Amino acid sequence: MKVIYKVTDIVLLGFRSLTTHKVRSLLAILSILFGVWSVIAMLAINEGARYEAEQSLRQMGTDKFLIQSLKPPQDRGAAQQTGRALYYGLTRADHRRLSESLPGLLGEVAGHETRKFAQYGTRLVPVRVFGTDPSYLQLRGLRVAAGRFLSAADELRCRNVCVMTQSLARRLFGYEDPLISVVRLGGESFDVVGLVDTPGGSTPEVPADLVSNLVYVPASTERTRFGEYSILRTTGSFEAERVEVSQIIFHMADERAVLAGAKIAESILQREHESPDYEINVPLDKILQLQRQRRLWNIMFFAIASISLLVGAIGIANIMLASVTERTREIGIRRALGAKRRDITVQFLVEAVTLTTGGGLMGIVLGFVVPPIVQAVLKVTAILSPPMLMVPFLMAVAVGLVSGLYPAMRAARLDPITALRHE
């Protein structure tokens, strides 16, 4: 019990000393508070950015990879010329060759894209018309928001039906019901049978205004109505392009098969294509890369945190040294009354740790308001986790111990007689 009373007295004495200089103590606490809070904010924003990027990639699935046609730089002479049309990208022979060569392949789906104008009434919107089959819904990870997706009967009977993204439907139809409407695509009438969410990612060289303007039609309908050629008319110029296959999605047995399959596909396509007119997109590979980048960013943030808290530590050490000088006579009196050196050391350490602990706890409280503030002001996602709150706090407590150690030891080493003579 005697030891408990002694420790309690030392702690209370340390608190009483801090309240004697309220403004000085408050400023020291604020330096730690903003250091801890800034670290929490940076980590939360970094985690939110990583989460959004990974969700976009996981939408397609980590057991799949995608290959899409890519228009090569024309100044390198990469594309072949067929008459007046620019011929590039994946071919049906590539599709067949890859389907037969990839080990661990569970399924695949291909699609062909053309650019048209969608018209409803007086509204005219540029869109990407994507011809594919019903399995594209599952393999691409799309979600039907209303109606249905394309069916096998639509493909077999070459029906003029389409499914579009919700964002495109709002642009075209406003407050009208798209599922009872007919839209014209490139001069052809199509019944709208369903709406889907906008898929993550984008096709290369797609302008920002076309990323969500997607219309899905049966592959047989797209081939019959629009063909393989895409006519691009701009002011003073005319360009025709021919692409046999715009995109292929491969569903593999597991993540290991994804990485192996992507390497095999790269080897086959390099052998068959003289120019880099394709792109292999591996979500799993990109997720792993994002995780590596996240670790690097976290290391950088901890470095910034260390500098920030180091500045606070220097301030606290300065305050504690000044406190030792001001209270030299008090230290002498305590030593004369029987206080030991470790009692003096503990007293000053308690004061230093109290300052940093108080600042750290306030920083954690402010850290809880980071996500709503960031989402409201910066319009980005911020995610908090327990380690993000505890690590900066523990760093702050450690700063208090380190910064208070030298002043505490200096106070404990004061000669009692010299201290009593100090004015």
Maximal CA-CA distance, the chain: 106
Instruction: Calculate mean pLDDT across residues 166-186.
Output: 91
What kind and span of H or E run contains 292?
Answer: helix 283-326
Percent of the chain with pLDDT over 70: 78
pLDDT of residue 159: 94
Which single residue is written with the structure tokens 């004495």?
A: 13
pLDDT at 272 over 60: yes
pLDDT band at 218 (very low <50, low <70, confident <90, very high): very high
pLDDT of residue 46: 77
The answer to whether 408 and 344 are in contact (CB under 8 A) is yes
274, HSE (Cβ side, Cα atoms, 13 Å): 7
- How do residues 242-251 score in pLDDT, each as one tens digit? 888 999 999 8
Among 30-39, 138-147, 291-300, 332-341, the range with the most confident prediction by mean pLDDT is: 138-147
Instruction: Calculate mean pLDDT across residues 383-390.
Output: 79
Of residues 229 and 249, the one with the higher pLDDT is 249
pLDDT band at 420 (very low <50, low <70, confident <90, very high): low
The CA-CA-CA angle for residues 17, 23, 26, to 5°, reads 85
Percent of the chain with pLDDT over 90: 24
Instruction: Calculate mean pLDDT across residues 394-403.
Output: 77
pLDDT band at 182 (very low <50, low <70, confident <90, very high): very high
pLDDT band at 14 (very low <50, low <70, confident <90, very high): low
Sequence spans of domains, the chain: 2-55+289-421, 71-276
Instruction: Calculate mean pLDDT across residues 83-87.
Output: 67
Among 3-7, 68-72, 175-179, 386-390, the range with the most confident prediction by mean pLDDT is: 175-179
Of residues 210 and 148, the one with the higher pLDDT is 148
Which residues have CB under 8 Å from 184's CB, separation 6+? 118, 119, 120, 190
Instruction: Calculate mean pLDDT across residues 302-316.
Output: 72
- Per-residue CA distances from 11 to 18, 28, 30, 69 (Å): 11, 19, 22, 71
pLDDT at 43 over 50: yes
pLDDT of residue 60: 60
pLDDT band at 79 (very low <50, low <70, confident <90, very high): very low
Distance (Å, whole) CA 33 – CA 360: 6
The full DSSP string for 66-130 is EEEE-PPPGGGT-SEEETTEEE-SB-HHHHHHHHHH-TTEEEEEEEEEEEEEEEETTEEEEEEEE
pLDDT at 35 over 80: no
Distance (Å, whole) CA 292 – CA 248: 28
